[in-house]
Structure formats: structure tokens, C-alpha cells
A and B are shown apart, each in its own frame.
Chain A
Amino acid sequence: MLDIHNLAVRFHTPTGLLQAVGGVSLNLKRGETLGLVGESGCGKTVTALAILRLLPCTAELSGEIRFADENLLRLSEERLRQVRGNRIAMVFQEPMTALNPVLTIGDQVAESLKLHRGLSTRQAWREAARALTPVGLPEPNRHLSQYPHQLSGGLRQRVLIAMALACAPDILIADEPTTALDVTIQSQILALLTKLKKDLGLAVLLITHNLGIVAQSADRVAVMYAGLIMETGSTIDLFQNPCHPYTQGLLASVPKLDFDQPPGGTLAGIPGQVPNLYQPPRGCFFRERCSHETPRCQEPPPWVEVEPNHRVLCWLCKNDQEFRNKSSRFK
């Protein structure tokens, strides 16, 4: 459905050239949630904005984003507007800033219906209440006349999802959709996204820093670090057999919900900090924090398929694979 090939984004900044995304390949299938997970600054939002070409002009893009037989990076501004919102819609982290504070919810939902479905004002207002129903707003008619600040964060996020879905898109990009919300509200929104994906056959790109959310909501996962995908596979494979040292470190850093063990003890964690994206390290970007580093890691690591559809960008896995191949030849 959506095929991203070798996407790179570089920003021209006063301090130099910053490589925010360094060659990312991803694909998204109908009726599937792909979780894009990584720590802050690793390039998740920039990747999402690149798909919709919403980046400022200081951004230099390369690679290919194929959607419906077209390369989105080559599309005319006019064609792009049709794709944006109509076929690919996006929901952001902060539901307040994405809504206009001086317009009622009804105005904004109706506006997006007019824009994307070409309805008249009367029709759009009639449709608006119906558009709010599937996202679980308790009293759609009352909410239509309210202003954004009169709704809770959770309800605002539902309104935004309703607006994103108003045009029946094929793809929904949700960038940290629950990060600003409390856990009990978060679980409501995640359940809603899963239901919509099933009911409408959406392809969802779910961006988050939270491994728990990915484990519960994604069918496949891509782990991102310093602008690169480090490991990708089905959610089950990735969590049960994490192969990249970064994925392993990330999983070991998550405190477990566990009341049986005594408190305290040390979490494994990952030493050090993310590399400077103005001057990325030579070879593997994770090298400075990796406990498995070998001299080979000074060269850019290769992609290794450790099991079907489970790929890792790491020399360690390459070495393992070569070793296995050699030993099987001796047998």
C-alpha cells in the first residue's frame, strides 16, 4: 500500500547539515498496524512528515515513497493536496494545537467534510454528528457546539481522529497519539484505533516511544535509532527474539510491572547517549553505546534476515549467520 524506499531527510541549519533520517525503508499494508518505535529525536516525526511532504523548505529529501503507483516525493503540489487528507491522514500528539481554539468542534468537523468530500455547508453539518459517532464521542450533537478547550484531552483526540477519518483515507498516520493522555484514556484511544483499523481496513502507522503500546497495538514493528531503522519484524518475533543490541537494550530498560520481586535492583539500561546527528559516527550509529562492538562495526552494518521477515542492521547478526553457515558446511 505504502512503500518507503531509502528515505533520507537532511536539514540545512545555521550550525550545519543535520541528518535526521538516514535512509529508511518501510512498507505498510492494508488492515495492518506498523509500529514505528524509538526514543525522542530519532526521526519518527520527520519520517511521518516526509510522507505527507509537510517538512519546511530547509529539509532536503531523497529516496522514494511509493503510494498508488506514484512517488509522493515527485508529486505536484496540487496532486499532493488530494493525497494528503484524502488518502493519507494524520493525527498528532497534541490534540489542542491541532484544533482551532476559536471555532466550535462542529465548524471544524464540517469544514474538513466540505474540503474532502465536497459537501455543502448544510450537508456537512448534517454529516458532522455522524462522523463523530464511530470514534466514541458520548453526545455528538452536544459536542458539535462546544469549543476545543471545553473538551478533555481524550475527547479532543477522538475529534481529531474523526476529522482524519472524515474522508475515508487508506492510511492513518498517528504520531504519539496518546502521549499527552492519561493511561486509562490512552487505553480507550488505542482500543479505538485497533477497532477502526479492523472495521475500515485502514493501514495504520503508529508512531510511539512506548514499547508497551507497540506490543499491544502493532502487527509489525520497526525500531528506529538516530535516523535509521535498526530492526524490523512481526511484533511477536521482535519482542520474543530481539536481535539488535539496541532493541535488546531498549527492552531491558523498560521497568516491568512486577510486585512480586523485591524493589530496587538495577535495570540493565543502555549506557551513554544518542550520537550527534550533525556528525554521525563512522560505521554503526549505535557503536558508541554497544557492548558487542567489533572492529568490523566501523563499517556501515549490513541488513541480515535472522528469520523470515525479521531483519536486523548489525554486524553481530552477520557474524552469527556466517558462523552458522560455516559450521553447517562442516557437518
Chain B
Amino acid sequence: MTEILLATYNLCRYFRVAGPWRKGPVLKAVDGVNLTIRAGETLGLVGESGCGKSTLGLLLLALLAPSKGEVRFAGENLHRLPANRLKELRRRMQIIFQDPYSSLNPRMTVRRLLEEPYVIHRLGDKNERRAWVTEILAEVGLGPEHLDRYPHEFSGGQRQRLGIARALALKPELIVADEPVSALDVSIQAQILNLLIQLQNRYQLTYLFISHDLSVVSRLSNRIAVMYLGRIVELGPRAVFAQSGLHPYTTALLSAVPLPDPTRPFQPPHLQGDPPSPIHLPSGCPFHPRCPEARHLQCREEVPQLRGTTTDHWVACHLR
């Protein structure tokens, strides 16, 4: 069994939605998530927009405080640590965002952007830092000629390379990649995915790879977690997703992916309607208003818990 790098226990994050007059209702962005990330693996996290993927990613890196539950990184509860210990652990985990532009200070040159992590963590002297920056830049496929340019002078794909370079600077173990290729054109997307795979192999990185695109997730994940309205509804090794007996929501997601194959017969939409508002969650199984299989009373009355079916495969559905 490989080492567990990160684990969450009943992790919850609620937001109070501000109302005009009084305190508004509670929005359960992440609700009772239990998952583990193993050293060296890529765990894919899929789900539609607003299901809580980014919030979960921020919680895992202690960039957001949980409302309930805990996150353990290398055995330590991230939200109970003294600040200096947390700072040490932070070096070992980094994040890559969808839109690198908004996360890169537009007034800093590439050199300063990439030096900053070393400065913050007081690593190396001036010359060492220079050498490291050049090295890391080459690692992501950019050259020393880019050092004195500003982020706006780069294309979307190149900016994402800068985002990756910054995340890589401190040689982290875990990288949360939040929709890293969603804003990119498909030919550039392929370049960035290749880079992420290459870096993982070279540095034994562990990824939490967040995406709404199942094809992208299927490309590089060892295990996949499917999220719906703040909860993990399915979690298992990739091979499981080629089989039948999946969570009805996963089945619907899979059938909705438009495949680049015109001989595939027309797939009538699996689901009717829209996901319900995360503020007024349906009773019972949160998926029941849209679920084509929700025939049981239980579906409307009882929240299904994540249960192991076969080894390592977990489903939250009364019928599975």
C-alpha cells in the first residue's frame, strides 16, 4: 500500500450567503468529504460548476478554513498548526489556477515572480536564486529571454507555464491543479498536459487534478472522485469508470461528454433540468430530483453515505 500524503475527515465548508436585511441562508459548498490522496498519484476531481471543487482544493491546502472536519497532510492536522509549522508545510504543497493571469502580479517581471517564493521562504542567496529561476524556467519550456518580460506579454499557454513554474519553485510534493487547462485551446491544452505529466514523472509529484472535463481527467488520473453539490458521490480507481454499476450521476456525466467520433450513435440527454441550488438542497439524496433511477422512498428521505463496493471503489447511492 502506498503512503497516504493527505486525508480529509468529514471536511465541510459552509458559506453564509449575505441577505439584504438579516443574515442569509447557509450554502454548503463542501459537505462531509472524506478522501485520501496517496503519494505519487494523480487524483482527478470532476463535477459541474459550483459543485465545490475549488473550495475543496483551497481547503486541502489550508488556504481556506473548514467549518467542520479536518485535513491531515503527512499526518498533521493543517488547521491546528502553529503558523510557523504551517508555513513549513506550505512549501510542500502548491496550487495552479485556471487563469494564471489573475494569480500573477502584472507589475512584476518573470524574474521577480519566480524569485518571490524563494524570498518568502528565505532560501538561497541572490546568485543561487538566479540560477534556480533560470533552471525552473527551462523546466517549463521557457527560456532566459523571457526573464525580463511581464505577464501580459505572454500567451495563455505560456502564462500557464509561468503558473506551473511558480508552483514548482519550492519543489513541492503535492500540487492542486484547479482547472489548469480549461481556459486553453485544445492544441495548447495538450502541450500543458504533457508538461504536467513530464514534471510528475521527474519529481514524483502528487496531483489533485480538478476539472469539469472528464476526458482530460481520464487522461492522467490514477483514481477519480466525482463531486455533486458539495459531496463526493463516487471515488475509485480509473478502471472502475469503464465498467457498469456506477453512480447514476457519473453515468450521466460520462454519457454527456461529446466524443470526437461521428459514428457514435446519438446520445439522448440523460438528465433533465438543472442542478438544484446549493442553498436549498433537496431532502435525501441531493441528486434525487434529477436521478433517472430514483424510485425508492429512501432516495427522497435518507442521504446516501459513501460506501465501499469492491476494494477501493466507493459509491454514495442507495441502489449500489
Residue numbers of A with Cβ under 8 A of B are 39-40, 138, 152, 154-155, 182-188, 190-191, 194, 209-216, 235-236, 239-240, 249-260, 263-271, 273
- CB-CB nearest in chain A for B49: A182
Decide: A188 near B269, CB < 8 A? Known: A239-B260, A268-B190. yes
Complex contacts, B238 vs chain A, CB 8 Å: 259, 263
B interface list, Cβ under 8 A from A:
42, 48-49, 155, 157, 185-191, 193-194, 197-198, 200-201, 212-216, 218-222, 238-242, 252-264, 266-275
Residue contact A259 to B239, C-beta cutoff 8 Å: yes
Known contacts A239-B260, A263-B42, A138 near B268 by CB under 8 Å: no
Can you identify 30 A-B contacts, CB atoms within 8 angstroms?
A39-B187, A138-B273, A182-B212, A183-B48, A183-B212, A184-B48, A184-B256, A184-B269, A184-B271, A185-B274, A187-B256, A187-B270, A190-B258, A212-B215, A236-B262, A252-B190, A253-B186, A253-B190, A254-B260, A257-B218, A257-B257, A258-B218, A259-B242, A263-B218, A263-B219, A263-B221, A266-B197, A267-B194, A269-B187, A271-B191
In the assembled complex, the Cα of A235 lies from the Cα of B241 at a distance in Å of 28
* Alpha-carbon separation in the docked complex, A152 to B272 (Å): 13
**B262 pairs with A216, CB closer than 8 A:** yes
- How far apart are the CA atoms of A211 and B214 in the complex, in Å? 15
B186 pairs with A39, CB closer than 8 A: yes
The answer to whether B258 touches A212 (Cβ under 8 A) is yes
- The chain B residue with its CB closest to the CB of A192 is B269
Instruction: Tell me which of A194, A249, A267, A270 has the highest count of chain B C-beta atoms within 10 A of its own C-beta.
Output: A267
A212 touching B259 in the complex, CB below 8 Å, given contacts A263-B42, A273-B157 = yes
Bound: A257/B220 CA distance, A:
11
Residues of A within 8 A of B272 (CB): 188
Using A152-B274, A183-B214, A183-B257 as known contacts, list a sample of 9 further A-B pairs with CB atoms less than 8 Å apart, ordered by residue number in A.
A190-B258, A210-B258, A211-B186, A215-B260, A239-B261, A256-B218, A263-B222, A264-B197, A264-B200
Tell me which residues across on chain B come within 8 A of A273, comparing CB atoms. 155, 157, 188
Residues in A whose Cβ lies below 8 Å from that of B242: 259-260
The complex places the Cα of A194 from the Cα of B258 at a distance, in Å, of: 14
**Cα separation A240 to B193 with both chains bound (whole Å):** 25
**Nearest 4 interchain pairs by C-beta:** A212-B258, A269-B190, A39-B185, A182-B48
Closest B residue to A237 by beta carbon equals: B262
Known: A257-B259, A264-B201. A250 touches B264 (CB 8 A): no
A270 to B187, CA, bound (A): 5
CA distance A214 to B241 in the complex (A): 25
A154 to B275, CA, bound (A): 11
In the bound complex, do residue B197 and residue A265 qualify as a contact, i.e. CB atoms below 8 Å apart?
yes
Min CB–CB distance A165 → chain B (angstroms): 19
Report how far A215 CA is from B266 CA in the complex, Å: 10
A235 CA to B261 CA, complexed, in Å: 9
CB distance from B204 to the nearest CB of A (A): 13
Q: A180 CA to B24 CA in the complex, in Å? A: 28
Q: Complex Cα distance A8/B187, Å?
A: 25
CB distance from A24 to the nearest CB of B (A): 19
With beta carbons under 8 angstroms apart, the residue of A155, A194, A253 that contacts B189 is A253
A215 near B259 with CB under 8 A, answer yes
Instruction: Kindly state the separation between the CA atoms of A240 and B263 in the bound complex, as whole angstroms.
Output: 9
With beta carbons under 8 angstroms apart, the residue of B191, B214, B222, B256 that contacts A269 is: B191
Complex interface: chain A residues within 8 A of B212 (CB): 182-183
CB atoms of B239 and A260 under 8 A apart = yes
Residues from chain A with a CB closer than 8 A to the CB of B157 are 273
Q: How far is the CA of A266 from the CA of B219 in the complex (A)?
A: 9
Q: When the two chains form their complex, are residues B215 and A254 in contact, meaning their CB atoms are under 8 A apart?
A: yes
CB distance from B143 to the nearest CB of A (A): 14
Chain A positions within 8 Å of B267 at CB level = 187, 216
A253 adjacent to B187 (CB under 8 Å): yes
Distance between Cα atoms of A93 and B268 in the complex (Å): 22
Which residues of B lie under 8 Å from residue A265 when comparing CB positions?
197
Q: How distant is the Cα of A9 from the Cα of B147 in the complex, in angstroms?
A: 36
- With a cutoff of 8 Å between Cβ atoms, the chain B residues found around residue A258 in the complex are 218-219
Pairwise interchain contact B201-A255, C-beta atoms closer than 8 A: no
Q: Which residue on chain A has the smallest CB distance to residue B265?
A: A216
- With A and B bound together, what is the CA distance between A265 and B258 in angstroms? 22
Q: How far is the CA of A39 from the CA of B190 in the complex (A)?
A: 13
Contacts A183-B212, A236-B263, A263-B219; is A216 near B258 (CB within 8 Å)? yes
> Complex formed: what's the CA distance from A263 to B257 in Å?
19
Bound form: Cα–Cα A236–B188 in Å: 25
In the complex, what residues of B have CB within 8 A of residue A188's CB? 269, 271-272
Q: Which residues of B contact A257 (CB under 8 A)?
A: 214-215, 218, 254, 257, 259
Residue of A nearest to B47 (CB): A182
Contact A254 B262 (CB under 8 A): no
Cβ A154 vs Cβ B258 within 8 A: no
Q: Which residues of B contact A40 (CB under 8 A)?
A: 185
Q: How far is the CB of B291 from chain A (nearest CB, A)?
A: 12
Do B186 and A250 touch across chains, with their CB atoms under 8 A apart?
yes
> Assuming the A-B contacts A211-B186, A213-B258, A273-B155, are A255 and B197 also in contact, with contact meaning beta carbons closer than 8 angstroms in the complex?
no
Quote the shortest CB–CB distance from A199 to chain B (angstroms): 15
Report whether A209 and B269 are in contact in the complex, using a CB–CB cutoff of 8 Å: no
In the assembled complex, the Cα of A39 lies from the Cα of B187 at a distance in Å of 8
Q: How far is the CA of A265 from the CA of B42 in the complex (A)?
A: 13
B42: chain A residues at CB < 8 Å are: 263
Chain A residues lying within 8 Å of B256, measured Cβ to Cβ, are 183-184, 186-187
